[in-house]
Amino acid sequence: MVSVRVPATSANVGCGFDSLGVALTLYTTFKFEKLDSGLEFVGFEERFSNKNNLVYQTLLTTLKKLNKEISGVRISIENDVPISRGLGSSSTCVVAGIYGAYLLTDTPIDKQEIFTIANEIEGHPDNVSPAIFGSLSSSCTTDSKEAVTVRYEVDERFNFLALIPNFETSTEEARKVMPKEIKLQDAIYSLSRIGSVIKAFETYDLELLNKVMGDKIHEPYRKEIIHEYHEVREICEKIDSSAFFISGSGSTLMNIVSDTNNIEKIKTELAKLKYNWQAILLKVDKEGTVVLN
Amino acid sequence: MVSVRVPATSANVGCGFDSLGVALTLYTTFKFEKLDSGLEFVGFEERFSNKNNLVYQTLLTTLKKLNKEISGVRISIENDVPISRGLGSSSTCVVAGIYGAYLLTDTPIDKQEIFTIANEIEGHPDNVSPAIFGSLSSSCTTDSKEAVTVRYEVDERFNFLALIPNFETSTEEARKVMPKEIKLQDAIYSLSRIGSVIKAFETYDLELLNKVMGDKIHEPYRKEIIHEYHEVREICEKIDSSAFFISGSGSTLMNIVSDTNNIEKIKTELAKLKYNWQAILLKVDKEGTVVLN
């Protein structure tokens, strides 16, 4: 049996739409056991306990790439990353499936290789990179379709307060509400901020972060499809918010707090809202995916 | 008499349109002497030797901000930065004018304060920041109209080969050819590359730089108004080019070479073109503006 732990991630950090992602200390653990035959799932919701399971499909795709086969497999999950909430649960499945294929066939782990495969399957290097490598990453696809990612450190003092509601947003819908063309000025708005955002994360400069975390590319559209976005933002900004952004394509909202003593106050206010908002304090994960056994 | 040296700059570095700028080891030196009355210019072209002179106008604006006055002034220039070629000659004048006002009135130099004033006058923080602070900078204007800039280091091994033609491009025309709206995908193209570009400059990763220096925001339009852009690019890419981009809004083209031995070969090929292209090897300037006396 082999076992891997994959961190949750928050993509589209601030002005870094489809570019910046950060790994967080919330994890899903996957176990893979070879079977003589057949396919078994343990711990998955029933809707995912079948051949279409993303972990299993990724495992198969990766085995084919590696030119390897297995007779059967049992895949177990212990999931702390909520599904379809913008915290990278799909990425954890993709990354785990690739690791599973590597580990079950005794293929030496090469994170760069795994990143390339993950990107081929997932399509967004900024989603999978932080799950694999940890920390903050800036990722792109080159003209020759190569996935490229660079790592930036995030100061350990950062407090990411994930505000996770009891409703999903579909990534598909979240993509659909966005325009195909944007104002040049709105592109420059993000482009000119991203260097400052990276520097603020490296140096724990909350004041700088607060000044530059705006986005005009996706947030203006997506906030309208996340219930109570405005109310939650207002609560955070009233109490403690150095930066506030949609995690991935939502529905989770991320609030960076300067003082963890304020978290209870935020929770108290959130409890008065119509929807149920869970607030979880997360730190940056620096390791990315790790093999546990 | 007071004297300041201001470096040339290259703005719009790669995918960093209106965002990234780098200071280079090509300088203009300005001298300011108090006179009992009147206004004198030494070393300026005749078309600039009058009250509308950008250095003088900036000096006046800054004096007003400082609540100070001078009776008269002689401004001298020793100019190595070619005018209207995309190497920041206007920025050198703006920065020098502000320094002149500070120095002539014994106001203590505060680069952050000078940056704020320079941005108010010039309007593009990415143009003036590297001239003041040196090195590579990422700059933006915040929602409250504050100019913000962060510094990134550039490895000293970088060779910037400035290819300066014997024709100007007007910044106004270069702005006019650009569309007001762009494809979302073209914005993401730049946005997702900028973190890699910064990392490549910090670590002298020429291979990475080469993969990520593309731009779809201004280069596709502006290259059409720079004579022989395609020919010059072809020459560089055939001989030695880790990155090739329009400096500022042109007409200078910047080519990063890995081996300075190749410069003569590039010059030989450039000499066969219709326009006259001067090739000057520059390094990153790390100091920005310095007071000389």
Q: What is the pLDDT of residue A171?
A: 74
pLDDT of residue A174: 79
Beta bridge partners of A182: B182
Cross-chain Cβ contact A195/B199 below 8 Å: no
In chain A, which residue's Cα lies nearest the Cα of B205?
A150
pLDDT tens digits for range A270-289: 999 999 999 999 999 999 99
> CB of B119 within 8 Å of any CB in chain A?
no
Mean pLDDT on A109-128: 94
How distant, in Å, are the alpha carbons of A24, A198, A201, A266, A281 from that of A259? 18, 21, 16, 11, 11
Nearest Cα residue in chain A from B192? A19
Beta carbons of B212 and A148 less than 8 Å apart: yes
Band the pLDDT of A172: cuts 50, 70, 90: confident
Query: What's the rounded mean pLDDT across residues B52-76?
Result: 97
Q: Tokens 């502006």 correspond to what residue? A: B222
pLDDT value of position B269: 98
Task: Locate the chain A residue with the closest alpha carbon to B143.
Answer: A211
A55-73 pLDDT, tens digit per residue, is 999 999 999 999 999 999 9
Q: How far is A186 from chain B (nearest CA, A)?
A: 9
pLDDT value at residue B169 = 83
| Domain A2-153+286-292: CATH class, spelled out | alpha beta
B79: its two tokens = 């100019």
Q: Where are the domains of chain B?
A: 2-153+286-292, 159-281
Average pLDDT score over residue span B266-293? 97
pLDDT digits (tens, 9 = 90+) for A250-262: 899 999 999 999 9
pLDDT exceeds 80 at position B170: no
A103 touching B, CB under 8 A?
A: no
Q: How many CA atoms lie within 13 A of A138 on its CB side?
A: 29
3-state helix, strand, coil in chain A (%, to 5): 40, 25, 35
What is chain B's mean pLDDT, rounded?
A: 95
Predicted complex ipTM: 0.94
B111-127 mean pLDDT? 94
Q: Do A198 and B196 touch (CB under 8 A)?
A: no
Residue contact B195–A126, C-beta within 8 A = no
Q: Which residues of chain A does B211 touch, with a Cβ-Cβ cutoff of 8 Å?
A: 142-144, 146, 148
Find the closest chain A residue to B211 by CA distance: A142
Task: Quickly count helices (H) and strands (E) in chain A.
Answer: 11, 12
Confidence band, pLDDT 50/70/90 cuts, at residue A20: very high
Q: Are B7 and B135 in contact (CB under 8 A)?
A: no
Residues 155-194 of A with CB under 8 A from B: 178-184, 186-194
Non-local CB neighbours of B272 within 8 Å, separated by 6+ positions = none
Of A17, A143, A146, which is closest to B214 when you measure between CB atoms? A143
Superfamily of A159-281 according to CATH: GHMP kinase, C-terminal domain (3.30.70.890)
Smallest Cα distance from A138 to chain B, Å: 5
In chain B, residues 122-161 whose CB comes closer than 8 Å to chain A: 126, 137-144, 146, 148-150, 152
